[in-house]
Amino acid sequence: MNKHVILFLTILLSLLSCNNKKNTNTDGVTITDSDTLNISSESVSDQSSLYLIVGTYTAGESEGIYVYQFDTISGAAVYKNMIKIANPSYLTISKDEKFVYAVSEMGDASASASAFSFDKADGTLSLLNTQLTGGADPCYIESDATGKHVVTANYSGGSMTVFDVKNDGSLTTASQLISFIGKGIDSERQKQPHIHCVRFTPDGRFLFVDDLGTDKIYKFDVNNDASGNYLKGGTPSSFKVTDGSGPRHLEFHPNGKFAYLITELSGAVIVFDYNSEKGILTEKQSVQADTLNAKGSADIHISPDGHFLYASNRLKGDGIAIFSINQADGKLTKVGYQETGVHPRNFVITPNGKYLLAASRDNDIIQVFQIDRNTGLLTDTFKNIELDMPVCLKFASLR
């Protein structure tokens, strides 16, 4: 056998060996190459990384909350660890990032909220305690800026639950359970109140509550005096939007002057002027994110620079509608539409504004899109994170 043939065989064997080699993650668990988990094999730098914390539905293969290290420069991700909990469909992180709070979206009396400590040394979550919400199907959870209160939106319960937070980050039993009444014009989807989102205003003085069932955004005054109820009905008590629209999620512009509501049933994004002194929302524009009448619009977020708004749609033409924001008046102009995997229930934008990650629930992937900072348009990087039924994405700093 001549030396050229020997050299060729040596190279071939080397390549086959590299392609079949195994890698070991930081937990010492042996796994096959990165293609097995559909995670980018690019290097992940601590200097440019964040923790990506993912909530899932656990009816299939997922078992709870998953933690990844995500590189905000390369778009690569590395799995870190997981903690078991039933149906953590929505998460929130305390302002100091020491604690993570999650709902367990259950349709019965077992519906609950759980508190976890978050160890940034290795990204591990440790369960502190679990408390019942007293309302079925909690689907949203929010922590206030003081770190002393956590509020859940209970979809089927038509209510919201307030928990006080102890010094160790754990939750007390519910300190308030506020129920709502009424219905809307959609005989199938609006037979009763369906609380879908609770959002503190940027200054923390008010809490707005989106009711998909009655087409209202309720307003509550925040009372930080420990001697009284934390939340009290505001003035006005609510803001009405178009009948049958189905308010879902609310987002504030970084400048604090505008607010944006995605409506699930009508598929519209409603633009409001926001008077922070009085806590008043004044509607000024409505534009369509869903043009197919799918009745499945879901999530809404704004780029960190405040120039673009993104709104996800499900059930038909699954994808993300892209709008530019007029910096003078906050009004929207549609500039594009990005198709995604099936059922993009939730998405998140990196703080540096470079990537948008979409949780495509029914494709069992988290898609990584790169954002064009000039146009707002998205490009699929195909650096998918493969995970069964991902439904909530949150970022936390690495240190």
| pLDDT tens profile 53-91 | 999 999 999 999 999 999 999 999 999 999 999 999 999
pLDDT-derived band at 227 (thresholds 50, 70, 90) equals low
Q: What is the pLDDT of residue 231?
A: 97
Per-residue pLDDT, averaged over 86-107, amounts to 98
4: tokens are 């050229």
Task: Give the model's pLDDT for residue 42.
Answer: 66
In this prediction, residue 144 carries a pLDDT of: 97
Separation in Å, CA 261 to CA 18, 140, 199, 248, 393: 50, 15, 11, 7, 19
Residue 43 pLDDT level (bands cut at 50, 70, 90) = confident
Condensed to tens digits (0 to 9), the pLDDT of residues 325-368 reads 999 999 999 999 999 999 999 999 999 999 999 999 999 999 99
Evaluate whether 157 touches 133 at the Cβ level (below 8 Å). Answer: yes
pTM of the entire predicted model: 0.90
User: Prior bond to 236 cis, omega within 30?
Assistant: yes
Contact 244, 184 (CB under 8 A): yes
The angle subtended at Cα 218 by Cα 163 and Cα 299, nearest 5°, is 80
- Quickly state the pLDDT bin for 225 (edges 50, 70, 90): confident
Comparing CA positions, the residue from 365, 393, 369 lying closest to residue 37 is 365
- What pLDDT is stored for residue 224 in this prediction? 87
